Amino acid sequence: MEILHLLEKLTQNCGVAGYEKPIANLLEDEIKDIGPVRRTPLGSLICTVKQESPDKPHVVLEAHMDEIGLMVCDIDDRGFLKVTRCGGIDRRVATASTVIIHGKNGDRRGIVASEEQNPAKNPTLEQLYVDAGVSREQAEKEFPIGTRISYIGSFKHLLEGNVSSKALDDRCGCAAMITAARMLKDMDTDCSITLLLSVMEEVGGMGAATGANALQPITHCISVDVSFALTPELQTHQGGKLGDGPMVGHNPILSREVSEDMAQVGTEQGITHQVKVYAGYRTGTDADGIILAGAGAKGACTCIPLRYMHTPVEVINAADMENTAKLAAAYVAQKVRPEGGCR
């Protein structure tokens, strides 16, 4: 499965929120054959897939490239690195994680440890530190305040078509949207199509919001992220099932018409999918910023079910990612048309 090779390549690269340059460089290389690529001032990638006349609809396909990680905020007398978070780390599994410290003299490995002495308690963020095995003097030279730290999490094939890695959130969305853009390049469409791979979603969604402002006017957007797949602590309505396809979102800020049209296309085309209701009045994904940019856009948020979010061992089903790409491409080709062809 070609999309899996792309996913492995993307997950094993680094791009902590606010320091996305390494993954952005890789992604730009991957998509430059689809269409012209440019970067926003914040570092998001904008790729023009198809350009039609201004009176026709304009669809943005979006996923975020950044991953959660840590940042050096202090160095103690013995060289241990005190850290703060870049995005929402899961403190339950932070201790004993191996990490890459993106220092001034190149990448160095380290171990996350904790001052918490009670093994029955999760450490607080303030209790976490990274051991790079160096003195304070060397640490201050190589890892100054603000240095980003990313998790190490190898790409592993599990049973039943499942895979595990760090940074599946949201590199699986990037792989799906790149695949959808490639499909649409060769499909009969009647709209402009832009691929937006955004930065800083894990710290507030600034990359997607500013990218959408640079792309106005937008009539439709499909934002792909991850959401919780069912695990023992969740009830059925709180997550999706691995292998049952992407979750088409419903929420007050999302277009009900677009969500229903996507589900209809999926049913007609035999593309496995499921539904998700986002509690509250926003989704907490990049879809929010894109929908509210400029004069606004009809928005859909499609999520790939994922277990163990914000850990180095996130798990998805490969077929769910592939079906996300198929569903997005089929919806755009069939439903996004000029006057009379879309709702």
Residues with a catalytic annotation lie at: 201
Give the 3-state secondary structure of the chain.
CHHHHHHHHHHCCCCECCECHHHHHHHHHHHCCCCCEEECCCCCEEEEEECCCCCCCEEEEEEECCECEEEEEEECCCCCEEEEEECCCCCCCCCCCEEEEEECCEEEEEEEEECCCCCCCCCCHHHEEEECCCCHHHHHHHCCCCCEEEECCCCEECHHHEEEECCHHHHHHHHHHHHHHHHHHCCCCCCEEEEEEECCHHHCCHHHHHHHHHCCCCCEEEEEEEEEECCCCCCHHHCECCCCCCEEEECCCCCHHHHHHHHHHHHHHCCCCEEEECCCCCCCCCHHHHHCCCCCCEEEEEEEEEECCCCCCEEEEHHHHHHHHHHHHHHHHHHCCCCCCCC
